[in-house]
Structure 1
Amino acid sequence: MPPSQCFPGFALLALDRAAHHSIASRSLLALPHTPRFSTSAPRYGPPPRKGMVAPPKRGTKTLNVKKGKSSPSRDTTKRPAPGDRKALRKRIVLSNNNALEVPTLQDLHKDTVLSGENEGLVKGLPEDVVDALRAVEAFKPTQGWRLFRRPAILMRKETTLLAALFREVEGTANGQAKMTVRKVLIGERMSGKSTMLLQGLTMAFMRDWVVVNLPDAKDITIAHTEYAPLPGSQPTQYTQDIYTANLLSQIAKANQSILGNLPVTTNHSLPIPLPSKSTLKQLAELAITNPEASWPIFVALWKELTQPGRPPIMLAIDNLSHIMRNSEYLSADVKPIHAHDLALVRHFVDRLAGKTPLPNGGMILAATSGSNAPTSPALDFSIQVAEARQLNPESIPQWNPYKNVDQRVMECLKDVGVLKVAGLTKAEARSIMEYYAASGMLRAQVTEPFVTEKWSLAGMGNIGELERVSVRLRV
């Protein structure tokens, strides 16, 4: 007997379940089919609201910093203004209040600055000379001026040789033959070439010479200043108005005591009017407000300085190798411009080569660099020839025919003498180390074995290495 006949209620329950199953099937067919278990976003889901982000995965750490709101971890420092990094890189510090005052330190004087008795002594620089040297950018950021109470220099053997050249120039300044000294300072890296150039500028300032200093030849040739062809020049030369205006400003500030008392004696055709009864200081200061006329003003100032009865001239440049090659400037034909085609460089090179002497006497002094110097085979060969000419004229080296020769550089340096800046003697090393100890920068007793040890560690008296192993290096 079937169950529906034995149990009438069982049939009603089965019909109810079947009806329910058919209704559920029809409802599932009417709805869109979506997978029950899926990681993809719904196709027809609403777009996410603005600002919503997906929750992080389980077990991971996230940091949600909302945009526009300050956070302690956010960098809120002010960005440096244009030029601030360069100013910080070139910042010169000439005093250290933590250093001790050296009671035995004596300043240089005008009457004794050229004396040979100063050899081996440490001398202080007068304040007015320090201001003039700062104006012409003679101090370098890499030098150790910031370690001591005030600027001072060691009068080494090469300094007395340079002072002897000053005496020769001044000895012939009142005679018939006006002497012009042309020297290139050479030496190893950190041997003190730039400091020796500074000592030459110091002597020129104290002996009332007119000083024209090009602080770094690199700044003239790396195409960081404006330039333009000089009208009427053949071959074409190029002027740098902004750099020349800055140079004239330095000349006026550093030599104001001399240029302020020298009147303008020649009528110059300048693009701007020159007041009557002007001094050479006023002439140089015209370029500050009129940089576009800086080159004609420089030519007029140089013409005035070479008039009879004017003081001797000190013309100096550092990092010489940068102007003994092609510059980074390009001509209208997109070809490199040789550094000698820059008008300011050409002016210096003509005096260094002896083509244009100084009528009232003076000195042209150039320093090479061992730290930041491009390759210049012609300069290196000319220095070798000049050294051999002074030591042994019979063993002059010959040019390597397999190297390209820059004839313009060879012609410029063929008759220039060199002054080699060698290492310090032990007596000079002891003198400078006693100055370090008196300043409180060297905390050791300066004895003969101690001096010999540091002198040997410094490469037989290299003054830059000597300062490093005795003052900068702390063990």
Structure 2
Amino acid sequence: MSGSICLRCLARPAVSTLEQSSLRISAQATAAFSTSAPLEANPVKKKGAVVVKPGRGANASFSKQGKIRKGQAGGRTGKPPGEGERKAIRKRVVLSNTNAVEVQGLDNLSATNIHDAAIEGHVMGLSNEVIDALRATEAFKPTQGWSLFRRPATLVRKETAEVARLMKDVESKKTSVRRVIYGERGSGKSVLALQAKAMALLKGWIIVHIPEAKELILGHTSYAPSNEPGIYNQPHFAAAMLGQIAKANHSVLSKLRLSKQHDLSIPVQSNISLDRFAMMGAQDPDIASEIYNALWSELTAPSQSGEGLKRPPVIFTIDSIAHVMRDSAYMNPDVEPIHAHDLAIVNHFFKLLSGKETLSNGGIVLATDSGSNRPGVPGFDHAVALNAALAQKKDAPQWDPWVKVDQRTIDILNGVDVWQIKGLSREEARSIMEYYAKSGMLRQTVNDNLVGEKWTLSGGGIIGELEKGTVKTRI
């Protein structure tokens, strides 16, 4: 009896089928959250498995993406661009295309044919001397199509003939012409100013040009207070301008000499030529501003009898004028932005444009607006629209009272002529297209149908759009 009882006590207790299944479920549920050593260990690699190394095989390109080599920022290879190299490439101007055909019978603009009515509506070339002078003042722009043709040439449009007539009046009456040129993007405003400077060079005038007004207000050049209260000099920019003036007008300035005694910080020879005088300021920014002012007093002095004392007319142009109709990036001692009109060179230009300073020997002051890369300046737009309405004897536009106005901008343009440049006529469009065809850049036959089609598609003869639709479509 006792033996049987002991055997029953040591035997495994009987478990029902339902209880066995519940135990298996609970074991499986707890196994998923187990942190035992076998589950944390790395899986054992199977023998014979092929491991593809990164950078080899079909997925090489994907494995290299985002990989940075040690010691190289961003994986960049090669030499980084030098100081000013990218700006030089951006501003690089090419004036010749050796693959273009030389246009036979292309005459150059000259002092004898400027006022000839027969050249109106024709394409005229530019001589090497004129090209060198215009290049010195950076009158050519990279966005213009000079690099498509064998050598620089330009269309004498009706506006060009108007500028030639104005120059004739200036020489005969010793008057000054003050104008702001505006119009659609690509309508030829900058090229018209270039044509004016080219004709001025041929007539023996002095040319002064600011190629990009934006460069004056960006705050990337030196500045300092001047002797005039509230006006700030830009010594390095003034030195660069003096260098451009001396180089572009060397043939004229080398024949002129000083006629006044100037209170300068350095001794200057009394009969020095104006060419050498300008180069003194170009080589030393510390004295550039005072030499710039002295040079202008010499250029605007009345002509006198004697060798080197006869003063020619002057043409002063600036491009993208809207940029200097607002505050600049410079700061005054009170940490407030300096208005562009308080910068010495800008202030001097606007004195000439507004008529506060006169050109004693006559001249032309031109300011061209830009259709691209242009800031919004409501005061300038309103002043231009107002002057245009007054010239055409139309109702003056109403000012929006909810828009902040810069009264200085409106006052500076009070009484200044505005000139809207529109598209070419059909005859002028045909002339320029024939020049494209003779250069080998337009492979189609120039007839009435083609001229009408391209003239319409270019927005009524906008020369920039006409050039895009004819010679730039294949590039």
Matched, 1:263 2:234: no
Matched, 1:286 2:280: yes
Q: CA–CA distance in 1 between the matches of 2:97 and 2:251? A: 29
Query: Unaligned stretches of 5+ in structure 2?
Result: 1-35, 43-48, 56-63, 304-310
Using the aligned pairs only, state the percent identity.
Answer: 47
Aligned mate of 2:292, from 270, 276, 298: 298
The aligned length equals: 415
Is the alpha carbon distance of 1:449 and 1:308 closer, same or farther for their aligned partners in structure 2, counting shifts above 3 Å? Answer: same
Q: CA–CA distance in 2 between the matches of 1:270 and 1:58? A: 85
Alignment match, 1:386: 387
Alignment match, 2:214: 218
Asked whether the equivalents of residues 227 and 238 of structure 1 are also in contact (C-alpha less than 8 Å), the reply is: yes
Q: Deviations over 1:366-403 (max 9, x none)?
A: 10001011111111111111211222x24122322222
Alignment match, 2:146: 145
Cα shift at 1:276: 4.2
Aligned 1:131-142 pairs, distance under 5 A: 131-142=132-143
Asked whether the equivalents of residues 180 and 366 of structure 2 are also in contact (C-alpha less than 8 Å), the reply is: yes
Aligned 1:331-370 pairs, distance under 5 A: 331-370=332-371
Query: Unaligned stretches of 5+ in structure 1?
Result: 1-33, 41-56, 173-177
Aligned mate of 2:180, from 169, 172, 184: 184
Aligned 1:68-107 pairs, distance under 5 A: 76-107=77-108
Is the alpha carbon distance of 1:130 and 1:60 closer, same or farther for their aligned partners in structure 2, counting shifts above 3 Å? Answer: same
Judge which range, 450-459 or 74-83, deviates more.
Answer: 74-83
Q: TM-score, normalised by structure 1?
A: 0.84
Q: Partner amino acid for 1:422?
A: K
Alignment match, 1:272: 266
Is the alpha carbon distance of 1:228 and 1:102 closer, same or farther for their aligned partners in structure 2, counting shifts above 3 Å? Answer: same
Aligned mate of 1:194, from 168, 186, 190: 190
Q: CA–CA distance in 2 between the matches of 1:188 and 1:266? A: 45
Q: CA–CA distance in 1 between the matches of 2:118 and 2:232? A: 46
Q: CA–CA distance in 1 between the matches of 2:138 and 2:68? A: 50
Asked whether the equivalents of residues 114 and 203 of structure 1 are also in contact (C-alpha less than 8 Å), the reply is: no
Q: CA–CA distance in 1 between the matches of 2:217 and 2:413? A: 19
In structure 1, the residue corresponding to 2:471 is in which secondary structure? helix
In structure 1, the residue corresponding to 2:244 is in which secondary structure? helix
Cα shift at 1:111: 1.6
Asked whether the equivalents of residues 114 and 166 of structure 1 are also in contact (C-alpha less than 8 Å), the reply is: no
Cα shift at 1:272: 2.1
Q: CA–CA distance in 1 between the matches of 2:368 and 2:257? A: 33
Alignment match, 2:165: 164
Alignment match, 1:6: none
Is the alpha carbon distance of 1:161 and 1:60 closer, same or farther for their aligned partners in structure 2, counting shifts above 3 Å? Answer: same
Computed over aligned residues only, the root mean square deviation of the Cα atoms, in angstroms, reads: 2.2
Asked whether the equivalents of residues 125 and 154 of structure 2 are also in contact (C-alpha less than 8 Å), the reply is: yes
Asked whether the equivalents of residues 384 and 418 of structure 2 are also in contact (C-alpha less than 8 Å), the reply is: yes
Q: Partner amino acid for 1:298?
A: Y
Alignment match, 1:233: 228
Q: Deviations over 1:113-159 (max 9, x none)?
A: 13333210000001100000000000000000000000000001111
Q: Partner amino acid for 1:84?
A: E
Aligned 1:435-446 pairs, distance under 5 A: 435-446=435-446
Q: CA–CA distance in 2 between the matches of 1:456 and 1:68? A: 58
Matched, 1:254 2:248: yes
Cα shift at 1:347: 0.2
Q: Partner amino acid for 1:116?
A: A
Q: CA–CA distance in 2 between the matches of 1:462 and 1:286? A: 43
Cα shift at 1:59: 4.9
Q: TM-score, normalised by structure 2?
A: 0.84
Asked whether the equivalents of residues 241 and 282 of structure 2 are also in contact (C-alpha less than 8 Å), the reply is: no
Q: CA–CA distance in 2 between the matches of 1:342 and 1:114? A: 38
Alignment match, 2:54: 62
